[in-house]
Amino acid sequence: MNPPSNQPPSPALLQILQDVASGQTNVEAAVESIQASSLGASADMQTVPGATVDLGRQARCGFGEVIYGEGKSTDLMTQIVQTQIAVGQACLITRIDATAAAQLRRVFENTRYNPSARTLRIGCGDESLEPIGVEGHSTHVAVVTAGSTDAHVADEAAETLAWMGIACERIDDIGVAGPQRLLAAVPRLRSAAAIVVVAGMEGALPAALAGHVATPVIAVPASTGYGAHFAGLTPLMGMLTSCAANVAVVNIDAGFKGGYMAGLIASGIASAKSEAASSKDA
C-alpha cells in the first residue's frame, strides 16, 4: 500500500470513486473509465517543452514528482508547476536560487521560499505551507544537526517533510564535541519515527546517536569541515562504515533525500496506526 499523502487526488479520479461509492457505476466500469481517460497510464506523463512531467508518481509512490531547480529556466519550472497544479499536486522545487524563486512567486499565489534550504513550495489552493509541529501528531520525524553550519542541509530535509505532510522536530547543534548535548536530547529522539542526522567534520554523530534509539537513522554527510574533510567525503566514508546497525546513508548535502526517506518511514507507520485504529473500531 502506498503511504498517505497530503496532496489531494485529481478531481476526475475523485468523481469516479464517488460514483462507485454511491452505486452509480460498478467497479468494472470505473476501471475502464480510468484506463480510457486522462487518468490512464498513457496520460501519467505530460510533455511540456523541455520536460516530461510524471503526473502518475503520486499514485504510484504516494508523493508527486519533485523539481530539481538548479540548471532549469524559470519558464520551464513554471510550465512544470502549472502542469502539476492543474491535477491537484502541490509542488516542491529544490536547489532553486533566490532570483528564480522570486520570479515564480510572482506567478503563483500560495508559495513558501526558504533561502537557507534553497527550496520553493507551491500549494494548490490556500492551504498552509508552514512546517508541521509535533504537537497533536502521534508520528513525527526528528531532524538533527551536529553543528549550526549544517543548518542549510537540515532545512532542506525539514521543508521536504513539510511538503510530505509529516510533522518535524528540529534539534540543532548536538555534535560529539559536546556529548552531554546529545545525551540531553535522547529522550526526545526516542519518540521519533525516524531521525535525519546532518553532520560534517568526521561525521561521527549518526553512529553515536543510533546507539541510543530503536529508530532508523538517516545520515546525511555535510560538506562542512577542514581540508582533510574533502568537502564531505570523509564523513560520507565514516557514515558508510558505521558499526551502528540502524544507520543508513544518503549523498553529501542531500537534505532532500534524507528528509524524503525519513518521511516515507513515518508515512508507513502513520498508515499502519490508522489501519489498526480502524480495525479496532470495526
Give yes or no: residues 115 and 184 share one domain.
no
150 and 266 share one domain: yes
Considering the domain architecture, whether residues 221 and 153 belong to the same structural domain is answered as: yes
Structural domain boundaries enclosing 198: 141-270
Whether residue 18 is predicted with pLDDT greater than 90 in this model: the reply is no
**Residue 41 forms part of a structural domain:** no
CB 35 within 8 Å of CB 29: no
How do residues 137-167 score in pLDDT, each as one tens digit?
889 999 999 999 999 999 999 999 999 999 9
Residues 92 and 158 placed together within one structural domain of the fold: no
196, 153: one domain: yes
Range with the poorest average pLDDT among 9-23, 127-141, 250-264: 9-23
Least confident of 37-41, 90-94, 189-193: 37-41
Residue 171 in domain? yes
In a domain, 31, yes or no: no
Q: What is the pLDDT of residue 134?
A: 87
Per DSSP (E only), the strands in the chain are 45-48, 51-54, 67-68, 91-94, 111-114, 119-122, 140-145, 167-171, 194-199, 217-221, 247-249
Domain containing 197 — which CATH number?
3.40.50.1970
pLDDT tens profile 194-223:
999 999 999 999 999 999 999 999 999 999
Instruction: Tell me which of 246 and 14 has the higher pLDDT.
Output: 246
Q: Which set of grid coordinates corresponds to residue 279? A: 480495525
pTM above 0.85, yes or no: no
Q: How many domains does the chain have?
A: 2
The verdict on 230 and 172 lying in the same domain is: yes
